[in-house]
Amino acid sequence: MTSLPADPTPAPHPSLELRILPSMADFNASAWDGLLAMQQRPTPFMRHAYLQALEVSGSATAESGWQPCHLSLWQGGALVGACPMYLKSHSYGEYVFDFAWARAYAEHGLDYFPKAVIAVPFTPVPGSRLLVADDSLRAPLLHAATQFCGEQEISSVHLLFGAATDLQAAQDIALMQRENVQFHWHNRDVQAGDAGPYADFDDFLAGLQQDKRKKIRQERRKVQAAGVTFRHACGTQIREADWDFFYQCYERTYLEHGNAPYLTPAFFAAMRTQMPENWLLFIAEREGRPIAASLIAIDAPGTGPRHAYGRYWGAIERVDCLHFEACYYQPIEWCIRQGLQCFEGGAQGEHKMARALMPVRTPSAHWLAHAGFAQAVERYLARESQGMAEYQRALQEHSPLKHPQ
């Protein structure tokens, strides 16, 4: 991979110092997390402990094609800006697909790799990426990334699943923007009339069109009729044996699709000890034996409106509709009981709409060093954007809700 320079790009402002740091270990965890707490959309995946665990566990390293190359801005010895950036030797684990761009570069004898991504590895969860002490530093921090990559002959910079403030900073410095769609479940808005949040799962079902309500009830009955029950554990209540069983399921899912899992056992061991408050585990059991597991990330209490995030699942036995129960219905029911605002179902999957996970825009921003390719991609994105707008309108026309939000 690329060797990082000892004397990096000049700072974007005379009073600021820009440093390129090769590891999350080079940041003070409290300083990083302090910046994160100030942002529009902090998520557990941007916590220092999460990002460092990816590196220490061997999950996101130069050897796996994710070379850490983190940007930081300093003022008077204080950290005032930072973002996780990685130099990539491939396009896997990002969930914003640019394989066609890489092929086009190769067909013209140009190197698309290494490229730079400002993202959380393997984690297509929207949230703040540019961590700054003051909004005025957001665009300069992103500009410093493009300037650094231009000087190092890195083909491109890709800001993935950023918050609205990040995308505005990208627009301010003329980065190209791209849209995709995810599917999220939202609790009933307490501000939308007198009903307030859903009282229970039946109250949620009552808001769906009759055919969708019937389908969900049928799917849940199939799982119950198969003798499957669920238990869940949160935080430190998740036993080490539960984590071990979950990893068995997680690994099996990847191997069944012909791939090795992205995340190592050491990563999940770090989550168990360093971030227990951010994890919720559902385990399906039959005849007293665990047969499937679904791991959900959650915002910690006291962090404002809370979201849950569907992450990983797997099963060691086949049961009709078990996936829907473990990955959607159990988490949604838990969110309703706990009063969470949103359950994010992860990347892709139109089938999620039948379970009342509605389409949500997930923008990204892109900079290409090669002027000719940048112009070609800009034209492509203009056409893609029109198609995406039509696609989103079509999705809304098939809302499962009685009264679309």
Task: For residues 165 and 99, state if they share a domain.
Answer: yes
Within a domain: 309: yes
Is the domain of 50 the same as that of 153?
A: yes
My answer on whether 200 and 78 are in the same domain is no
- What's the predicted TM-score (pTM) here? 0.94
Q: What confidence tens digit (pLDDT) does each residue in 129-184 have? A: 999 999 999 999 999 999 999 999 999 999 999 999 999 999 999 999 999 999 99
Say yes or no: 65 and 132 in one domain. Answer: yes
pLDDT value of residue 347 = 81
Dihedral sign computed on CA atoms, order 173, 179, 185, 189: positive
Tokens encoding 315: 């099963």
**CA 337 to CA 308: how far, in whole Å?**
13
* Domain match, 21 and 158 both: yes
Give the 3-state DSSP-derived string for 336-347, with helices as H, strands as E and coil as C: HHHCCCEEEEEE
Residue 345 located in a structural domain: no
For 80, residues 6+ apart whose C-beta sits below 8 A from its C-beta are 16, 35, 73, 74, 132, 133, 134, 137
Q: How confident is the model at residue 6 (pLDDT cuts 50, 70, 90)?
A: very low
Residue 7, in any domain of the structure: no
Domains held by the chain: number: 2
* Domain shared by 23 and 166, yes or no: yes
31 within some domain: yes
- When pLDDT is cut at 50, 70 and 90, the band that residue 302 belongs to is confident
User: 104 in a domain, yes or no?
Assistant: yes
**69 and 217 belong to one structural domain:** no
Percent of the chain with pLDDT over 70: 95
Nearest residue to 332 (alpha-carbon basis) of 254, 261, 230, 240: 230
Q: To which residue do tokens 């540019």 refer?
A: 130
Shared-domain flag, residues 127 and 249 = no
Let me know whether 30 and 134 are in one domain.
Answer: yes
In tens, the pLDDT along 48-106 reads: 999 999 999 999 999 999 999 999 999 999 999 999 999 999 999 999 999 999 999 99
Q: What is the CATH number of the domain that holds 165?
A: 3.40.630.30
Same domain, 176 and 193: no
Asked whether residue 311 is domain-assigned, the answer is yes
Q: Are residues 59 and 169 in the same domain?
A: yes
Let me know whether 293 and 390 are in one domain.
no
More confident residue, 347 or 365: 365
Range of the domain at 94: 17-181+361-397
pLDDT at 79: 98
> Which tens digits make up the pLDDT trace of 208-226?
999 999 999 999 999 999 9
Q: Is the CB of residue 84 less than 8 Å from the CB of residue 119?
A: yes
Residue 108 lies in a domain: yes
pLDDT of residue 285: 98
Q: Which of 19, 39, 13, 28 is nearest to 130 (CA)?
A: 39
Residue 325 domain flag:
yes
Whether residue 191 is predicted with pLDDT greater than 70 in this model: the reply is no
